[in-house]
Structure 1
Amino acid sequence: MSKQRAEGTPVRVAESRPPKIEALTEEERHNGTDELDDAASSTASLRSSILEYRALNGRTFHSAAHAADYFMPNDGQQQESLDLAHHYLTLILDGLLYLAPIPSDSKGLAVLDIGTGTGIWAIDFADAHSNAEVTGTDLSPIQPSWVPRNVRFEIEDATMDWTFRANSFGFIHMRYLLGGINDWTALFKQAYRCCKPGGWVESVEVEPGFCSDDDTTDGNPFVEKFASLFLEAGRKTGKSFTVPTDDVQRLGMEAAGFSDLQVVDFKVPMGGWPRDPRLAEVGRISHIALETDIEGYTMMLWHHVLQWPLDGYHPFLDGVRKTLRDKRTHAYVKLRVVYGRKPEEI
């Protein structure tokens, strides 16, 4: 499809929509073809003593002195969940780390990973592209110290003015920034400034609300509560959690000046219910990733942002867990990848 920018310059936008996911039958479920592997991969706890972290409800968050106010913890439990999320994201992209058509020859390519988290994407990219130079930024220094020679990590708040020079990077990758961004257009304008002419920027975002193609999530009170938690928190903080639905990636990148925009949508199943083996594996890992730290994704919002009743929190978590463990519930979450190119200088 083609869209027109206000100033008259054509911006090509291509969209790819995911098909309906076919679920296993009841007979196939009873035959044990969708068993959830409860043994989640254990990852080393990546701690750092560089900053003083805040302790809330037994969890640690980024420094209270930092300008940003981010809802997710930065401790080992959250890190393990993030690394599992990286695994299912790589699987759903058919083993790829990105979709943007960056040059196959990465010699001299400068890459920036915004919101790097544990640094796992930056490390994997650096391993796969030994001639590239990769920089990962995040609020907390939770990345490992032993990394490939061509990767480094810096503390930076992506919502502030970026400290990098203009036209510095051939590829800028950002992932799972939901709940941390007030102004997505301003974010992409920073990316546009720092991206080299002809370079690419890619944004990957998920929506924390459960859907189903067969109505098996409809009317479920825990599914509805889970969605409303993030929706109301976004309204109160001004930091959107409904990024794919609001189309803020495409709109923000278009407003920033990127061209050749590509929008690719995915469905990430929660659990091993899909008949397709690859999607079933994605679903098993995404389910484990959520269960590994469902408290970390919801605690700050429930207790400190919305200040909902304390006695309702753990029954809510138990209800979500029970719902997603039920093989008759064919839940998935929406994932959207948007990438675009900074036009060559004329």
Structure 2
Amino acid sequence: MWSITLDQKLHLAPIGSNPQNVLDIATGTGIWAIDFANLTFELDDAEDEWLFPQKFDYIHGRTLATCFKSPLSVFRKAFEALAPGGWFEMQDMCLQRSDDGSMDGSSLKEWQEHVQAATAFTGVPWTNVPHYAHWFTEAGFESVTEVTFRWPSNQWSRNRKEKLLGAWTQAQIDNGMLESVSTRLFMMKLGWSQQKLDEFLAKVNADTKDPNIHAYSPVTVVYGRKPRSS
């Protein structure tokens, strides 16, 4: 879905054609990093002190909205770890919304509200992404740029690319995305029973497939440069 969204690009920051030292934080399976370069993996905690011996030309993070208790502290570490003139980029997504009110009163909207309530108990709310650009500036970055996209809940969009992304969203839902996101949060944090959760998710699933509900996940890419004088 990221490849489709970014037209097969791995980054939007203007990092040039030959960056020497690059860091992908919280790399997950490593797919992005493997596509980007020959590499080594290091196991560490990005919220601890960064002890890299080298400065980086580019630092990248993707789909980390639920990773950090203090994203700003991580952004500041990225700033310090960059060489002067180096770039930092975050690519992330939010919970679903609609612009025309078609989610109002739906189980899908209720699901978003329950997820936000549950994640508040974890100390990692799912509401950080809209603050990224501001936090980049607060961390010291210049030329901060924010680019936004949409991942529709199904194929309701008339835009060809968004229609394809909606099909991919449905493929994820059909392969258990709602259950994987909801089970631990709803049962352990909200105290729901398995039966209550199953019945509710069946309604949410039906809403995601309703073309009259114009829901989408806002997708945001933010990048900024460490001043050359730093």
Q: Normalised by the size of structure 2, how large is the TM-score? A: 0.91
User: What is the CA–CA distance in structure 2 between the aligned matches of 1:341 and 1:189, rounded to whole Å?
Assistant: 12
Q: 1:242 aligns with which of 127, 140, 153?
A: 127
For residues 25-69 of structure 1, give each alpha carbon's deviation from its aligned partner in whole angstroms, at most 9, with x where no partner exists: xxxxxxxxxxxxxxxxxxxxxxxxxxxxxxxxxxxxxxxxxxxxx
User: What are the residue-to-residue correspondences of 1:243-262 with 2, within 5 Å?
Assistant: 243-244=128-129, 247-262=130-145
Q: Which residue of the other structure, out of 221, 224, 227, is the alignment partner of 1:340?
A: 224
- Offset of 1:91 from its aligned partner? 0.8
CA distance in 1, matches of 2:44, 2:183: 24
How many residues were matched structurally? 229
Q: Alpha-carbon deviation of 1:307?
A: 2.5
Identity %: 34
Matched ranges for 1:84-99 at <5 A: 88-99=1-12
The equivalent residue for 1:68 is: none
Q: Give the CA deviation at 1:280.
A: 0.9
Task: Write the mapping of 1:6-45 to structure 2, written as runs, cut at 5 A.
Answer: none
Q: Which moved more, 1:309-318 or 1:196-205?
A: 309-318
Q: Deviations over 1:60-119 (max 9, x none)?
A: xxxxxxxxxxxxxxxxxxxxxxxxxxxx1121112211110101234xx21111121111
Alpha-carbon distance in structure 2 between the residues aligned to 1:342 and 1:181 = 22
Cα RMSD (Å):
1.8
> Which of 112, 130, 145 is equivalent to 2:23?
112
Greater C-alpha radius of gyration: 1
Flag structure 1 segments of 5+ consecutive residues without an equivalent. 1-87, 127-149
Does the 8 A contact of 2:108 with 2:208 survive in 1? no
* Of 29, 32, 39, the match for 1:121: 32
Tell whether the 8 Å contact from 1:181 to 1:240 is kept in structure 2 after alignment.
Answer: no
Q: CA deviation at 1:173?
A: 0.5
SS at match of 1:173: strand
C-alpha distance in 1, partners of 2:195/2:69?
Answer: 31
CA 290–119 in structure 1, closer or farther in 2 if over 3 Å, else same: farther
Query: Which residue of the partner structure matches residue 312 of structure 1?
Result: 196
Q: 1:316 to 1:154 in 2, by over 3 A?
A: farther
The structure-2 alpha-carbon separation of the partners of 1:251 and 1:104, relative to structure 1 and needing over 3 Å to count, comes to same
Match of 2:59 among 157, 162, 172: 172
Q: TM-score, normalised by structure 1?
A: 0.62
Give a deviation string over 1:131-181, Cα, whole Å, max 9, x none: xxxxxxxxxxxxxxxxxxx1222222222222323x521111111112221
Match of 1:197 in 2: 84
Aligned with 1:281: secondary structure? helix
TM-aligned CA distance change 1:158 to 1:300, over 3 Å: farther
Query: Shift of residue 238 of structure 1?
Result: 2.2
Higher RCO, 1 vs 2 (CA within 8 Å, ≥6 residues apart): 2
Task: Give, as a single letter, the amino acid of the residue that structure 2 aligns with 1:193.
Answer: E
Deviations 1:203-247 (A, max 9, x none): 112112x22233321210x22222112211232222120123xx3
Name the structure with the higher helix share: 2
Residue ranges of structure 2 left out of the alignment (5+ in a row)? none
Give the Cα–Cα distance (whole angstroms) in 1 for the partners of residues 25 and 201 of structure 2.
30
